[in-house]
Amino acid sequence: MKKHNFYAGPAILPEEVKRKTSDSLIDFAGMGLSVMEISHRSPQWVACMENAFSLTSELLCIPDGYKVMFLTGGASSQFYMSAMNLLDESDVAGYINTGTWSAKSIKEAELFGKVKNVGSSKDDKYSYIPKKLDSEGVKYVHYTSNNTVFGTQFQELPDVDVPLVGDMSSDIFSREVDITRHDLIYCGAQKNMGPAGVTLVIVKESALGKVKRNIPTILDYRTHISKGSMFNTPPVLPIYISMLTMQWVKDNGGVKAMKLRNEAKAQLLYNEIDRNDLFNGFVAKEDRSMMNACFGLHDDSNQDAFLDMATEAGIVGIQGHRSVGGFRASMYNAMDIESVEVLVSVMKAFSEKYG
């Protein structure tokens, strides 16, 4: 039976990418060696790394003046590394609190400077994206573009007149983004780009070198820029798989095509949630995520029965986050609409049986 993978992360990868990765584990680039055991200084790996840089810039239309890095530590490391590099002790950074991950980033930023809450949806269990933002006096505004735990997503960039810092861990490459509005973008790979182990960072070079503090060498973005993301041995396998995934995005029409693909999947599922009297969505309709649909049953006592029906259909990973409950269907780029159709069919069958 085919599995329909709705896990929030580590998440689904394109079948083509998995096959090519499998081959490379035995023989990478005709070297007769696994990609996991080659030198990161070898010409074959340097070419792969350069391709990963090139694809990132091409797919996201990154302009001159910005640099791409492939680092480690996940987005969690960027919660503090971004503030350490951009926020001086006398500065004030603005943060939009829309859930678990933005709250964690706020906590880390407070170690390096003053933090101002410019908007929050905590008052209603993070069920919406705040629109009225008070960014007066801040150096930049940090936001989490898509919230995997609660299922909200910024449909437009925050309406502020200062540079943005964006955590795009779960929706990078899913739609176009105006890079020029940002001083920094970062994302952990394991949701919509590749496997866990590599972190993508895009930074405006002119934003660096402005803080007075001494930054440890390995935590200074300028170190990694100057060394082409190979100051220390890079995580070659996650970078390679991420490069293959970006190539897959390009071969399938690029970011514009991914947006259309994702809109179709999300609309299909949300239409069923709204139509089906047994289910209810958790967030404001105008702020619903294309990547992570969070929903539940009006009668929680039937939750196990629904999960059993989903499992029988080959569906995995739709349990909601432990802090929210209910269900969460993660529909990243690599998911085919067929999997969403199967989920919708199970919801309809469930309604016929228990409605």
pLDDT reported for residue 91 = 96
Q: What pLDDT is attached to residue 195? A: 97
Q: Which of 45, 91, 101, 287 is catalytic?
A: 101
| Catalytic residue check, 167 | yes
pLDDT of 49-107, one tens digit each? 999 999 999 999 999 999 999 999 999 999 999 999 999 999 999 999 999 999 999 99
pLDDT tens digit string along 298-322?
A: 999 999 999 999 999 999 999 999 9
Contact yes or no for 193/186 (Cβ under 8 A): no
Residue whose tokens read 């810039």: 57
> Is the four-CA dihedral 95, 101, 107, 113 of positive or negative sign?
negative
Catalytic residue (choose from 191, 204, 248, 287): 191
The pLDDT score that the predictor gives to residue 238 is 98
Phi, psi of 286 (to 5 degrees): -70, -15
pTM for the complete prediction? 0.97
- Give yes or no: 191 in active site: yes
Distance CA 74, CA 68 (A): 15
Q: Which among 164, 153, 160 has a CA at the least distance from the CA of 128?
A: 153
CATH of domain 254-354: 3.90.1150.10
Of the residues 67, 91, 139, 167, only one is catalytic, namely 167
CA distance 339 to 92: 45
- In CATH, which of 3.20.20.70, 3.30.750.200, 3.10.129.10, 3.40.640.10 is domain 15-251? 3.40.640.10
Sign of the C-alpha dihedral computed for residues 294, 297, 300 and 303 taken in this order: negative
Q: Which DSSP state fits 37? A: T
Taking only the tens of pLDDT, the chain with its 355 residues reads 899 999 999 999 999 999 999 999 999 999 999 999 999 999 999 999 999 999 999 999 999 999 999 999 999 999 999 999 999 999 999 999 999 999 999 999 999 999 999 999 999 999 999 999 999 999 999 999 999 999 999 999 999 999 999 999 999 999 999 999 999 999 999 999 999 999 999 999 999 999 999 999 999 999 999 999 999 999 999 999 999 999 999 999 999 999 999 999 999 999 999 999 999 999 999 999 999 999 999 999 999 999 999 999 999 999 999 999 999 999 999 999 999 999 999 999 999 999 8
Locate tokens 């390009």: which residue? 250
Answer whether the bond into residue 195 is a cis peptide, omega within 30°.
no
Largest CA distance in the chain: 65
In the structure encoding, which two tokens stand for residue 251, read together?
């071969």
CB burial of residue 231 (10 Å; 0-12, 13-18, 19+):
middle
Query: Which pLDDT score is estimated for 149?
Result: 97
* Helix axis angle, 74-86 to 100-109, nearest 10°: 40
In the chain, domain spans: 15-251, 254-354
